[in-house]
Amino acid sequence: MEELVENWVGPYRCAAVSTKSLLIRKPPQATCFSREVTISRYFSGPRPIIEGDGEDGAEVGIRMQGVIIGGTESKPHSHPYMAYLGIVTLQGKQKACGGFLIRRDFVLTAVHCAGSSISVTLGAHNIVDRERTQQVIQVRRAIPHPHYNDKTLSNDIMLLQALSYSTVAVPSTHPCDLKPQQPPPKGEIIGGTESKPHSRPYMAYLEIVTSQEKQVACGGFLIRRDFVLTAAHCAGRSVTVTLGAHNIQKKEDTWQRLEVIKQFPYPKYEPVGVHDIMLLKLKEKANLTLAVGTLPLPPHVTFIRPGRMCQVAGWGRTGVKEPASSTLQEVKLRLMEPRACRHFRAFDHNLQLCVGNPQSTKSAFKGDSGGPLLCAGVAQGIVSYGLSSAKPPAVFTRISPYRPWIDEVLKEN
């Protein structure tokens, strides 16, 4: 049995609570301190053991078989900053960690809680029973301490930047409280608004030269440093991808322009709008920055249902007779029942999504093709086609049925 013992120094002496792991119970004050706690981890055993003494009798324990040793159940929502992290590891396994909200778009946690994708649940008490107070937000960027040591677990601290702002009120007395950023500026898509610059770092602007030598544009989104996902009808003789852009007419230092060296349209794609999905292999890997990041995809087993409110973004037209937008626009759209798209003969509810309330004027339009439909921070659809009048609903390609194909192409390339 392998044992690792280390000295861990806590930056704060604050009440710590958890739905999964470490508990430091009932300190007298929430004041800063430095205190050594010995942690023993038995990696070969059935469960971790954490033991030691905090200051002034504070106890350290773990939750085992649903019970925190020496602790009590918290009063529901008495710790509004607590975050439950659902993690998919690099090996594809699922695990959980705790964390806490320090700004509307930032969670603080441990580096050993990193993974290939992380979703944050806020406003929870019983993590099994869904409540109206819960907010599930996807993490777009993990920022581990640069000197973290995975052998000694020193510098085991990490910031998680969320894809969207939470509506949880962070206590103003929080020791890590940061000044919130300003709300996004107003603008127009069709019934939408201008996105806050670089708030959607996964967005890709595609400049396409068709086989007829025409120049057209599409949207897309970065799913790996060297791969963009878009619609198959956005294929062309050549494609150039711009990442890190907001106003596509004004070049910024955040821009990264990358050439596409190979296009992978789905093998059974049909121009009528069936299987309208394509992967683009970039010549070089993108540099991940605050303005350029990847977007998580849903598992193959996901089947998102009608009624959900989701978001779509793009540089498409702001009206039927209007030119394409120079700035990134976004709009909230509702997932509709399949009967709302019955006038589209090729519509298949198992492979496509019917998006946009027909009683509304909000819609994605020409130039938005290939862009992502985000539901709770995860890309669930790709803009495919709609009516020439821009009247909603429009048809989006479901992503989850194509996960095996996507994973296969990424693995081979």
- Residue 53 annotated in active site: no
Which member of 195, 363, 369, 400 is catalytic? 369
Give a three-class secondary structure readout of the chain: CCEEEEEEECCCECCECCCCCEEEECCCCCECCCCEEEEEEECCCCCCCCCCECHHHCEEEEEECCEECCCCCCCCCCCCCEEEEEEECCCCCEEEEEEEEEECCEEEECHHHCCCEEEEEECCCCCCCCCCCCEEEEEEEEEECCCCCCCCCCCCCEEEEECCCCCCCCCCCCCCCCCCCCCCCCCCCECCEECCCCCCCCEEEEEEECCCCCEEEEEEEEEECCEEEECHHHCCCEEEEEECCCECCCCCCCCEEEEEEEEEECCCCECCCECCCEEEEECCCCCCCCCCCCCCCCCCCCCCCCCCEEEEEECCECCCCCCECCECEEEEEEECCHHHHCCCCCCCCCCEEEECCCCCCCECCCCCCCCEEEECCEEEEEEEECCCCCCCCEEEEECHHHHHHHHHHHHHC
CA-nearest of 147, 150, 122 to 134 is 122
User: What is the residue whose two structure tokens read 């230092």?
Assistant: 253
Q: Which residue is it, tokens 């540089």?
A: 315
Q: Which of 276, 363, 368, 400 is catalytic?
A: 276
**Residue 199: active-site member:** no
Structure tokens at 131: 């409540």
HSE (CB half, 13 Å, CA atoms) of 257?
7
Residue located via tokens 């033991």: 51
In the residue annotation, 117 being an active-site residue is answered as no
Annotated catalytic residue, options 18, 119, 233, 368 = 233
Beta bridge mates, 25: 59
Place of tokens 């081979």: 412
Cβ pair 184, 195 in contact under 8 A: yes
What CA dihedral angle connects 264, 269, 271 and 277, to 10 degrees? -60
Active site residues: 233, 276, 369
